């Protein structure tokens, strides 16, 4: 953080985050504040870029008016939501880890000797729970990367477990995020741990004009690092993601022959060529800008580097696809045109690949209806249960399911959930 005069004539560095790899953020404690008063103590949140610790610091004005940083609390947990009482020197913040439910703590101005004033989710003591670990690995460019690894509930060191890799972009910062099991959160880490899976959330560094190639490079490196630890079965690794994570998943499913045993992709982007001419339907903005300067990072128009667009699209790798793939779409998706998922499904099916499409009527980019959320999570576990645990396949995996039959089942789920 820097203190700069309005005319730009003087700049003073207040923190040294770059040297210590700590991210500082200003904490606005007075909702009515219109500017930062440097004659008073200024509170900052802290986050360790590489160790994932977090805490709070304070900038104190000295006799000369210069601000000096003082670290107040720094823990191997997630600490956030700092607040102050309006008319008293009483502060509150929230603390959590993957195994500790979020709780509110109160303390004085120094934030020392904080006391918990809540005890959320006491039910957790009645259940087996996983644990978290931060791993490190490198991609083919020798760049340092990290991943959050979550162990199965009741982990047994004598066993090797199946693993699900959930991906998007940079997910290692989720290391200390508490995730209570939920049948409505269909990508729930604790639910996957409870079903006996390791879960890996890796970081991905995307190279310009090569988003798909970057995914294959970074995610396979992360998975190999866990394999080296000797805790997972290398033949039973699944992949999963939604939206941009769906792009990651479908690309891996079609471009990493025999490495991954099963895949689940929700609302995926599968073809940069055909999607280039689409609209982002919820905003009315053409996809051209998003693809060139957004997450896809293609930099140039389709017609200036067609081969890069082809090289990084899942549909063009279908011929070598060996990973069984489950695709989920909502036919009212305003963010990713649902035909992207349908396109890959039809091409893969024509190529006689193991692929199943679930299409939820009236659903947007994420499922909102409780019955659909429960249904999708159940199918995810049936899919991975078959391919990663050798469980007998559900009938919808081997025989498909007529649309009307699925609608009847969803109505039953909706009626049952309404009673709960």
- pLDDT at position 64 is 72
On the question of pLDDT at 146 being above 80, the answer is yes
Is the whole model's pTM more than 0.85, yes or no? Answer: yes
- According to DSSP, the β-strands at 78-84 and 67-75 are unpaired
Q: Which residues lie closer than 8 Å to 155 by C-beta, 6 or more apart?
A: 130, 131, 161
- pLDDT at position 420 is 65
On the question of pLDDT at 410 being above 80, the answer is no
Domains of the chain, first to last: 2-122 (no CATH), 129-419 (3.40.50.1820)
Specify the 3-state DSSP secondary structure of 130: coil
* pLDDT single digits (tens) 36-91: 988 889 999 999 999 999 999 999 988 777 888 899 999 999 999 999 999 999 99
Say which residue, 233 or 123, is predicted with more confidence: 233
* pLDDT single digits (tens) 232-264: 999 999 999 999 999 999 999 999 989 999 999
- pLDDT at position 415 is 77
The rounded percent of the chain whose pLDDT value lies above 90 is 80
CA distances from 270 to 214, 243, 322 (A): 15, 10, 16
Q: How far apart are the first and last CA of the chain?
A: 50
**Vertex 404, ends 399 and 406: CA angle to 5°?**
60
Burial class (CB in 10 A: 0-12, 13-18, 19+), 240: buried
Of 183-187, 237-241, 412-416, the one with minimum mean pLDDT is 412-416
């Amino acid at each position: 953080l820097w203190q700069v005069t309005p005319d730009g004539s003087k700049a003073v560095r207040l923190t040294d985050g770059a040297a210590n790899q700590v991210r500082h953020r200003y904490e606005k404690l007075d909702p009515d504040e219109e500017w930062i008063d440097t004659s008073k103590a200024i509170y900052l949140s802290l986050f360790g870029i590489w160790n994932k610790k977090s805490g709070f610091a304070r900038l104190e004005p000295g006799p000369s008016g210069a601000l000096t940083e003082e670290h107040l609390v720094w823990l191997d947990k997630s600490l956030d939501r700092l607040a102050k009482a309006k008319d008293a020197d009483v502060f509150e913040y929230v603390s959590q880890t993957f195994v500790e439910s979020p709780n509110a703590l109160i303390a004085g101005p120094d934030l020392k000797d904080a006391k918990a004033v809540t005890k959320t989710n006491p039910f957790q003591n009645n259940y087996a729970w996983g644990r978290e670990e931060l791993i490190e690995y490198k991609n083919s460019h020798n760049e340092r990367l990290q991943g959050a690894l979550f162990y199965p509930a009741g982990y047994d060191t004598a066993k090797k477990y199946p693993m699900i890799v959930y991906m998007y972009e940079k997910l290692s910062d989720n290391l200390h995020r508490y995730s209570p099991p939920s049948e409505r959160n269909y990508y729930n880490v604790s639910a996957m741990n409870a079903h006996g899976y390791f879960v890996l959330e890796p970081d991905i560094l995307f190279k310009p004009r090569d988003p798909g190639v970057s995914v294959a490079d970074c995610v396979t490196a992360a998975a190999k690092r866990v394999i080296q630890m000797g805790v997972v079965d290398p033949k039973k690794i699944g992949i999963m993601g939604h939206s941009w994570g769906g792009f990651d998943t479908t690309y891996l499913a079609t471009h990493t022959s025999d490495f991954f045993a099963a895949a689940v992709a929700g609302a995926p982007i599968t073809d940069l060529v055909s999607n280039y001419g689409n609209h982002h339907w919820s905003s009315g903005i053409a996809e051209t800008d998003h693809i060139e300067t957004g997450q896809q990072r293609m930099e140039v128009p389709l017609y200036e580097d067609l081969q890069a667009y082809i090289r990084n699209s899942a549909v063009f790798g279908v011929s070598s696809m060996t990973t069984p793939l489950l695709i989920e779409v909502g036919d009212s998706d305003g963010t990713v045109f649902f035909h992207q998922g349908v396109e890959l499904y039809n091409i893969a099916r024509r190529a006689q690949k193991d692929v199943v499409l679930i299409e939820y009527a009236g659903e947007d980019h994420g499922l909102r209806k409780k019955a659909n959320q429960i249904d999708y999570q159940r199918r995810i576990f049936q899919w991975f249960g078959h391919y990663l645990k050798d469980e007998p396949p559900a009938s919808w995996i081997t025989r498909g399911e007529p649309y009307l039959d699925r609608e009847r089942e969803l109505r039953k789920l909706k009626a049952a959930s309404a009673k709960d």
